[in-house]
Amino acid sequence: MSRTLAVVTVDSATANARSATPAGRETDVSVAKTTSPPGGGRPAPAADPLAWLADNERDRRAAGLRRALRPRAAHPTPALIDLAGNDYLGLGRHPAVVEGAARAARTWGAGSTGSRLVTGSTTLHEELEQALAGHVGFPAALVFSSGYTANLGCLTALAGPGDLIVSDALNHASIVDACRLSRATVAITPHGDVDAVHAALAAGGWRRALVVTESVFSADGDAAPLARLHATARAHGALLVVDEAHGLGVVGPGGRGALWAAGLASEPDVVATVTLSKALGGLGGAVLGPVALRDHLVDTARTFIFDTGLAPANVGAALGALTVLREQPELAAAVRARAAQLAALTGAPAPAAAVVSVVIGDPEPAVAAAAACLARGVAVGCFRPPTVPAGTSRLRLTARADLTDADLRVVTEVFAAAQVRAR
């Protein structure tokens, strides 16, 4: 049964901001007892079992939390500068990447036809796994259908009842969900607090333990203290699992990631998860680590076993993106330089990679600022609860390696007109 440690000083406002139901207050799901109506018959059916959705929508609207899907043009509009997407290196439309996807689809078909364990594994998937492992500096990799399923598969295969997962309070929803699904004890530690990680591990009572963090936090854009986390984890015999979703392609020489940059990539007690959907411009995810870990995941990771293999086009695209990254290692430094410029423009904290977080406060002014930018031709992300903690609604700007000086001049004017400034 899942249990949540209360030993660590958890900032309850932020600890579980990524999910509507806080991970730290997880409750067991039990079947509600039905009371038999007088006479012993079945209860009268409710008129509309989804009627509550309207009330719920009204509450979200009142709190400024309604979300709308807006159309995206098939081709980038020259009039729109995109500071909202995660295609940090501009590889999503790179000819080599698009052609890699098309060639793979022509050769292998549109889909993977089933789980790779059932209908077979293509040489293309294995080629990608070797290329990814080589690039990020790990002995082995296993590809999943997304970064989300990579995190779910990895953490649930590595931790279970009797184990401890120490998870940063600002970890991504996929990590929060993985912690819940694992049925391990979960200690949520304040953001970036290595002493709290030490305290959680030192409390003992666990069979195996792992510490999980993002390398670059997806909403705040800051870096995890990887070297200190690793030293602490190692001192306690715990594994360090690092989600490099926003590190791959951007941090370290040639975008090899934060673990490579910290000299931790090939350590036997370090595991990485990545997504192929951000700097690599496509779709998919992977877990990287020792060969024995890959074997373990093939046998036990439910999101690998019970999920259709990543579509060939996505595999071909990722291979193309890695080739471009190898040929143009300067792309990673270019995007970091643009991110630093965006931060300077807005008074936001210096970013560790491509994500610049301009905290506004309440949701309404954040939404209004994002709309004002869009109306002037600059698309920015707008993050509100439950994606970020209450009171920290923000504009999330993402730098791209292909932003020009002329783009930056336009962005400067638009931000001034829309009063985009970190509070």
Ligand X SMILES: Cc1ncc(COP(=O)(O)O)c(C=O)c1O
As annotated, the active-site residues are: 86, 172, 214, 218, 243, 246, 278
Ranked by CB distance to ligand X, the top (closest) residue is 147
112 lies in the site for ligand X, by CB under 6 A: no
Going across the sheet that includes 140-144, the strands are: 3-4, 185-189, 164-168, 209-214, 239-243, 270-275, 285-289, 140-144
Select the residue interacting with ligand X from 163, 168, 214, 307 (CB under 6 A).
214
174 lies in the site for ligand X, by CB under 6 A: yes
Give the nearer residue to ligand X in terms of CB position, either 198 or 282.
Answer: 282
- Rounded alpha-carbon distances, angstroms, from residue 230 to 110, 187, 198: 41, 17, 11
Distance CA 185, CA 249 (A): 33
213 lies in the site for ligand X, by CB under 6 A: no
Select the residue interacting with ligand X from 4, 213, 218, 357 (CB under 6 A).
218
Q: Any idea how long the chain is?
A: 423
Distance CA 328, CA 320 (A): 12
Given a contact cutoff of 8 angstroms between Cβ atoms, the answer to whether 43 and 34 are in contact is yes
What is the DSSP pairing of strand 285-289 with strand 164-168?
A: unpaired
Residues of this chain, 224-243, that bind ligand X according to CB under 6 A: 243
Select the residue interacting with ligand X from 100, 221, 285, 389 (CB under 6 A).
285
Select the residue interacting with ligand X from 213, 277, 346, 398 (CB under 6 A).
277
Q: Which stretch binds ligand X (CB under 6 A): 115-123, 143-151, 360-368, 414-422?
A: 143-151
Give the nearer residue to ligand X in terms of CB position, either 172 or 336.
Answer: 172
Give the nearer residue to ligand X in terms of CB position, either 275 or 393.
Answer: 275
18 lies in the site for ligand X, by CB under 6 A: no
245 lies in the site for ligand X, by CB under 6 A: yes
Partners of 239 in beta bridges: 210
| Close Cβ partners of 317 (under 8 Å, ≥ 6 residues apart) | 97, 98, 100, 101, 104, 276, 280, 281, 282, 283
398 lies in the site for ligand X, by CB under 6 A: no
Distance CA 123, CA 120 (A): 10
Q: Which stretch binds ligand X (CB under 6 A): 109-117, 142-150, 201-209, 358-366?
A: 142-150
257 lies in the site for ligand X, by CB under 6 A: no
Of 173, 188, 219, which Cα lies nearest the Cα of 388?
219
Q: Which positions lie near ligand X, rule CB under 6 A?
A: 146-148, 151, 172, 174, 214, 218, 243, 245, 275, 277, 285
